[in-house]
Amino acid sequence: MPDFQVWISAHQLRFEDVLRKLLPAADIAPQRLHAAMRYSVLDGGKRVRPLLAFAAGELAGADITRVNYAAAAVELIHAYSLVHDDMPCMDDDVLRRGKPTCHVEYDEATALLVGDALQSLAFQMLSDTTLTADPARQLKMVKLLAVASGSRGMAGGQAFDLASVGKQLDVSELEFMHIHKTGALIRAAILLGAYCGDTLSDAHFDKLDHYGKCVGLAFQVVDDVLDAEADTATLGKTAGKDADNDKPTYVTLLGAVDAKKMAAELHQEALQSLSEFGDKAQRLRELADFIVMRKY
Ligand code: GRG
């Protein structure tokens, strides 16, 4: 089995090429919209969600060409959420993935359309006939991503986030917000990757889903710590935004020491959920380590 860093780099490189081919070319009309879509998706990002889908796909013995479509669908939803989140009506940020945000580089109307078009393209990927040989399973996957990204998932979490500015939340309210805003898509990435492979038992899906819940929340706790402690150059996005926007975070609520403790506990719980899978879950274990120990 190749070293984890080699595995990550190989997938990141290969997946960049997949995205490059799946996105409409910049010389196809409407050129400006297509160029802005490519600008927002390509050449940036850690690709954590696709990596989770590839690792879950490996666990389920999935054909990688199938997982490519599922991983692309999730990454396109993620990219759309970042473009919209950065707009003046939401977080109003100028820097993302080390470059000007989409509405700064292009304009607000284009950024709005980029998000819309990326979301549609995501579902186009998920409805591709090469995704699975089983139409019923494919419909299940479409529904899974729709729920994870809609008002009962990411978009709902974002609504809760916008409504929480300047408010005092308790830990369970903060957890509710992040399980939806950040966690839902991360969980979906893992399950979609697994659905591309051999059928796992319901009990195994439950274990994987619990792993996803833990790493999804841990991802956000670490994000809050990094926002408070890391610098803008390392993050590639504006550091200290949460405090500037008067947003409740795990750091403001628990303090940095306890927030890190919480991330460590979630990390352990995530690893425990994989105990029955043996070596096949090695990449998912390493990704849990990566998510909790990341520096950007
Ligand atoms: C606009 C519907 C809508 C939703 C936006 C995800 C989100 C909801 C907003 C992003 C704001 C944010 C910074 C959330 C914290 C966690 C997070 C999703 C960080 C960015 O994800 P990474 O670190 O980014 O995976 P890269 O650039 O590596 O892909």
Mean of all residue pLDDT scores within the chain: 94
Is the pLDDT assigned to residue 34 strictly greater than 90? yes
Distance 214 CA to ligand 1 centre (A): 17
Q: Is 237 in the pocket of ligand 1 (CB under 6 A)?
A: no
Q: Is 40 in the pocket of ligand 1 (CB under 6 A)?
A: no
Query: Which is higher by pLDDT, 243 or 219?
Result: 219
Distance 123 CA to ligand 1 centre (A): 19
Percent of the chain with pLDDT over 70: 100
pLDDT digits (tens, 9 = 90+) for 97-134: 999 999 999 999 999 999 999 999 999 999 998 888 89
Is the pLDDT assigned to residue 73 strictly greater than 90? yes
Distance 182 CA to ligand 1 centre (A): 7
- Most informative mutation of 145, 164, 181, 224 for ligand 1 (most atoms within 8 A of CB): 181
Percent of the chain with pLDDT over 90: 86
CA 279 to chain centre: 24
Domain count, the chain: 1
Q: Residue with the nearest Cα to atom 27 of ligand 1?
A: 45
User: The domain containing residue 287 runs over which residues?
Assistant: 4-293
Count of CA atoms in the C-beta half-sphere (13 A) of 228: 20
Which DSSP letter does residue 99 get? E
pLDDT digits (tens, 9 = 90+) for 223-270: 999 999 888 888 787 877 777 778 889 999 999 999 999 999 999 999
DSSP string, 165-234: TT----HHHHHHHHIIIIIHHHHHHHHHHHHTSSPPPHHHHHHHHHHHHHHHHHHHHHHHHHHHHS-HHH
Distance 133 CA to ligand 1 centre (A): 32
Is the pLDDT assigned to residue 12 strictly greater than 90? yes
Is the pLDDT assigned to residue 22 strictly greater than 90? yes
CA distance 195 to 49: 15
Q: Is 213 in the pocket of ligand 1 (CB under 6 A)?
A: no
Q: Residue with the nearest Cα to atom 14 of ligand 1?
A: 182
Distance 205 CA to ligand 1 centre (A): 25
pTM of the model: 0.95
* pLDDT reported for residue 25: 98
Query: Which is higher by pLDDT, 80 or 248?
Result: 80
pLDDT digits (tens, 9 = 90+) for 39-50: 999 999 999 999
pLDDT digits (tens, 9 = 90+) for 180-211: 999 999 999 999 999 999 889 999 999 999 99
- Domain harbouring 146, CATH code: 1.10.600.10
